[in-house]
A and B are shown apart, each in its own frame.
Chain A
Amino acid sequence: MSGQNISRIVYPAIGILLIVLAWQAYIVAFRVPVVVMPPPTKVMSALAADWRLLLVESWTTFVECVYGFALAVIVGILIAVMVTASRGLSLMFYPILIATQSIPKVAIAPLVLVWFGTGIESKIAIAFIVAFFPMVVDTATGLRATPEDLLDLARSLKCTRWQIFWKIQVPSALPFIFSGAKVAVTLAVIGAVIGEFVGSDSGLGNLVLSANAQVNLPLVWAALVFLSILGMMLYAATVVAERILTPWVESASQ
């Protein structure tokens, strides 16, 4: 492991440690009651005591996020391909698509629950609704940004439209697609938790609500820690996929 990699782990670890120490010191010094804010020690004991429960609830949220994100990627790319392939479709539906984005997603959540019930389907649907828009925008931008000289090359070689799409437009849009996916994956987590808040009996979002109702603040915080780890893992997985599928982007910056 290179020195740079080590410092990438050591520095954030020191940062977290400092914040935790400051947090503990503040709570001890000002005698903050646990119901307002639990000290790190209590959060840690909640993590230690309830890790099984936290893992089970995390799994539910994880599954919701993954399905919602996967749907957002697939549907987002398909919509982007359609609006870039046809000017008519773009003119007809792109403005409506943008208009729908001004509706706060939380406001749609109760409707989605009515349509899909309180099971996992409604959470997947909300995660999808929240996450798919950046996929559409970034993919469409990428498909439209195909370098003109590469299109000239393709025409000079009599490439078919299909060849131009798969061999030139898609690979040149891939870096854009991944920047959309990195935004979408974090939004999917938010969407899943919104879904769980509005109505569910499992998942980390649900655990936050029920622990809060029981004034079990350390467990609320422990659930937040798991949520943040979940979000980071999903983001990291997307970055790994990006490195594998667009290796030329990395080699350019070396």
Chain B
Amino acid sequence: MTREPLPSFGRLSGVRKVFDRRNDSPLVAIEDVSFDIAQGQLISLLGPSGCGKTTVLRILAGLTEATSGTVEIRGRPVTGAQRDFGVAFQAPTLMPWRSIIENVLFPMEVQGRKDGAARDRARELLKLVGLEGFEQVYPKQLSGGMQQRAALCRALIHEPTLLLMDEPFGALDELTRMEMNDLLLDIRRLTKATVLFVTHSISEAVYLSDVVLVFSKRPARIALRLEIDIPYPRSINVRYSEHFNRLEQQASIALGVNR
């Protein structure tokens, strides 16, 4: 597969985040993080737990304000949440009082676009993630993995240009997680959305991404930018190739695991 240079989607420059703490010195969560996001790329932010990679994502989602530095999307500086972004959180974060389809439709409802077409799309997405027939049940009647799939549909319902995912599969068992990885790649192929994916799993990051940004321990800095030159579509066999292992090794060295 030959790659043409992709048009730019956005850029973070010199982003720094300091949390003020009561009765303690300020906590530097992120120290000078800059990277480019190309249109349609899937970029993983890989780092140890608590390193501040989630904070980077939250800044992009408009849930946390950067102390300094800028975030530019399509050439314009952004602050605050964007309606054309979709966010998938660590927990499914479904509303227990809404049926699955009503949860998926929530972003459309908020934007006043909950029409027949939106319903059709919600049904399509649920079918795509294997939740056909579960439209009318309450979230508590589903397993954790199924809830996370529904949450993924909700993040996609308004056809976001940027999908922000914060360790969405972290709480799932290994097998479900690998299934969800393939599902994400399918979705990404179909929607062509740009994806930023936070994870602490090396193999997940390498398997999914065009680019893996390896973060250092707190305060977060980018220790390594790793291009994953394995062509899509990727399948389970890729995980056992020598090249894949070498990429994993490079990432783990950057993480400071191999010494």
Decide if A and B are genuine partners.
Answer: yes
Chain A interface (Cβ < 8 Å from any Cβ of B): 147, 149-150, 152-159, 163, 167-168, 171-172, 174, 246-249, 251-252
Q: Are A246 and B97 in contact (CB under 8 A)?
A: yes
Residue numbers in B under 8 Å from A155 (CB-CB): 62-63, 81
Please give the distance in Å from A90's CB to the nearest CB on chain B: 21
Please give the distance in Å from A226's CB to the nearest CB on chain B: 37
Q: Are B95 and A168 in contact (CB under 8 A)?
A: yes
Residue numbers in B under 8 Å from A152 (CB-CB): 63, 89, 93
Q: Does B87 contact A (CB under 8 A)?
A: yes
Q: Are A171 and B97 in contact (CB under 8 A)?
A: yes
Interface SS, B side: loop
Q: Are A156 and B61 in contact (CB under 8 A)?
A: yes
| 0 or 1 for each of B83-94: is its CB under 8 Å from A? (1 = yes) | 101010101010
Q: Are B107 and A248 in contact (CB under 8 A)?
A: no
Q: Does B110 contact A (CB under 8 A)?
A: yes
Closest to A154 in B: B110
Residue numbers in A under 8 Å from B61 (CB-CB): 156
A-facing residues in B228-251 (Cβ within 8 Å): none
| Pick from B63, B80, B93, B110: contact of A163, CB under 8 Å | B110
Residue numbers in A under 8 Å from B83 (CB-CB): 157-158
Q: Does B50 contact A (CB under 8 A)?
A: no
Q: List 29 A-B contacts (CB under 8 A).
A: A152-B89, A152-B93, A153-B87, A154-B110, A155-B62, A155-B63, A155-B81, A156-B61, A156-B85, A157-B81, A157-B106, A157-B110, A157-B111, A158-B83, A159-B110, A163-B110, A167-B106, A167-B109, A167-B110, A168-B95, A172-B95, A174-B97, A247-B138, A248-B96, A248-B140, A249-B96, A251-B140, A251-B141, A252-B96
What 7 A-B pairs are tightest by C-beta distance, nearest first?
A252-B140, A156-B87, A171-B97, A149-B93, A248-B138, A158-B81, A248-B97
Q: Are B62 and A156 in contact (CB under 8 A)?
A: yes
Q: Are B107 and A157 in contact (CB under 8 A)?
A: yes
Residue of A152, A154, A163 contacting most chain B CB atoms (<10 Å): A152
Residue numbers in A under 8 Å from B140 (CB-CB): 248, 251-252
Residue of A147, A153, A172 contacting most chain B CB atoms (<10 Å): A153
Distance in angstroms between the alpha carbons of A174 and B110 in the assembled complex: 20
Distance in angstroms between the alpha carbons of A247 and B89 in the assembled complex: 26
Closest to B99 in A: A248
Q: Are B138 and A156 in contact (CB under 8 A)?
A: no
Distance in angstroms between the alpha carbons of A251 and B138 in the assembled complex: 8
Please give the distance in Å from A157's CB to the nearest CB on chain B: 5
Closest to B89 in A: A149
Residue numbers in A under 8 Å from B87 (CB-CB): 153, 156
Q: Are B81 and A172 in contact (CB under 8 A)?
A: no
Q: Are B81 and A156 in contact (CB under 8 A)?
A: yes
| 0 or 1 for each of B192-204: is its CB under 8 Å from A? (1 = yes) | 0000000000000
Residue numbers in B under 8 Å from A153 (CB-CB): 87, 89, 93, 106
A-facing residues in B104-122 (Cβ within 8 Å): 106-107, 109-111
Residue numbers in B under 8 Å from A159 (CB-CB): 110
Please give the distance in Å from B63's CB to the nearest CB on chain A: 6
Distance in angstroms between the alpha carbons of A155 and B97 in the assembled complex: 19
Beyond A150-B95, A153-B87, A172-B97, 20 extra complex contacts between A and B, CB < 8 Å: A152-B63, A152-B89, A153-B89, A153-B93, A153-B106, A155-B62, A156-B61, A157-B81, A157-B110, A158-B83, A159-B110, A167-B106, A168-B95, A171-B97, A172-B95, A172-B96, A248-B96, A248-B138, A249-B96, A251-B140
Q: Are B97 and A150 in contact (CB under 8 A)?
A: no
Residue numbers in A under 8 Å from B95 (CB-CB): 150, 168, 171-172
Closest to B85 in A: A156
Closest to B91 in A: A149
Please give the distance in Å from B99's CB to the nearest CB on chain A: 9
Please give the distance in Å from A55's CB to the nearest CB on chain B: 39
Residue numbers in B under 8 Å from A158 (CB-CB): 80-83, 110
Residue numbers in B under 8 Å from A163 (CB-CB): 110
Residue numbers in B under 8 Å from A248 (CB-CB): 96-97, 138, 140
